[in-house]
């Protein structure tokens, strides 16, 4: 059993480094495309956990390692670090690069909830895929087609981005819960729409970078509420 977990850890590290390598290869300059490519593709990591990793310590190794790797790259070696092409350039939104640190922290939170608090390993995937696909695609679409700009406090958003967040989150949750996890569609539709709605609100009101924490936690908590009360 442990050998399967070790294989999962090895494949997880390989997958993470492959994503970073591809971001450097495909997007040679720093930019939103490189950042969001990594942001979105990390969402698929949870499938490795579901397939191979059953032990809590093994599930925690990779995201915990990247908390420190990302912290070092952002704060100590931001010009030549592993994630240099993913960081914001000088003059861009100052706190956004710290989203690179908050992202793996959110993975740790999802693992702890799924493997320690509930022992329902699929649950963390709910928060992660909404963050990865919903939030990631919303940022790209909102920047490409910035229709209906609005501000909530310090957070600057667009209606096109928020609508994309809701639609993509709904679709990816439907795929994940009905096909990968195996829940009947009719039983989860209302929960999916509620989760997508409140996750979109969380993304809209959270300043850049910090939505890497607020979105997955909101998605997970809303999903659990809908699962038991809708």
227/221 Cα distance (integer angstroms): 10
Residues 201-221 as b or e (16 or more Cβ within 10 Å = b) = bbbbebbbbbbbbbbbbbbbb
With contact defined as beta carbons under 8 Å apart, do 223 and 191 qualify?
A: yes
Give the single-character DSSP code of 96. G
Q: What is the dihedral of CA 64, 69, 72, 73, to 10 degrees?
A: -140
Please write the tens of the pLDDT for every residue from 85-126.
Answer: 676 655 454 445 678 899 999 999 999 999 999 999 999 999
Report the C-alpha gap between 91 and 219 in whole angstroms.
32
Q: Which residues contact 167 (CB under 8 A, 6 or more apart)?
A: 196
CA 11 – CA 15 distance, rounded (Å): 6
Q: What's the pLDDT tens digit per position in 129-174?
A: 999 999 999 989 998 999 999 988 777 889 999 999 999 999 999 9
Q: What is the pLDDT of residues 178-218, one digit of tens each?
A: 999 999 999 999 999 999 999 999 999 988 779 999 999 99
What gap in Å lies between CA 77 and CA 92, rounded to an integer? 18
DSSP secondary structure code for residue 145 in this structure:
S
Q: How confident is the model at residue 79 (pLDDT cuts 50, 70, 90)?
A: low
**Distance of alpha carbon 216 from the chain centroid:** 7
CA 136 to chain centre: 8
Residue 80 CB-half CA count within 13 A: 0
CA 133 – CA 138 distance, rounded (Å): 8
Structure tokens at 201: 């609100």
Check if the beta carbon of residue 16 is closer than 8 Å to that of residue 62: yes
- Picking from 143, 147, 131, 103, the residue whose alpha carbon sits closest to that of residue 195 is 131
Q: What's the pTM value of the predicted model, to 2 decimals?
A: 0.93
């Amino acid at each position: 059993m442990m050998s399967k977990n070790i294989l999962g850890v090895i494949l997880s590290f390989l997958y993470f480094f492959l994503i970073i390598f591809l971001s450097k290869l495909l997007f040679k300059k720093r930019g939103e495309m490189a950042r969001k490519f990594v942001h979105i593709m990390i969402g698929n990591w949870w499938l490795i956990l579901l397939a191979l990793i059953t032990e809590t310590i093994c599930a925690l190794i990779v995201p915990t390692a990247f908390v420190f790797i990302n912290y070092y790259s952002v704060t100590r070696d931001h010009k030549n670090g592993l994630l240099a092409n993913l960081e914001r350039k000088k003059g861009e939104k100052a706190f956004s690069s710290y989203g690179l640190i908050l992202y793996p922290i959110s993975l740790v939170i999802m693992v702890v909830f799924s493997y320690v608090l509930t022992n329902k390993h699929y649950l963390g995937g709910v928060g992660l895929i909404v963050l990865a696909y919903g939030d990631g695609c919303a940022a790209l679409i909102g920047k490409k087609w910035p229709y209906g700009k609005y501000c909530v406090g310090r957070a600057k958003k667009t209606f096109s981005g928020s609508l994309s967040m809701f639609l993509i989150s709904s679709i990816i949750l439907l795929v994940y819960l009905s096909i990968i996890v195996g829940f009947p569609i009719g039983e989860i539709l209302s929960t999916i729409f509620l989760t997508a709605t409140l996750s979109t609100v969380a993304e809209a009101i959270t300043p850049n970078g910090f939505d890497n924490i607020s979105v997955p936690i909101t998605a997970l908590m809303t999903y659990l509420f809908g699962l038991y009360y809708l």
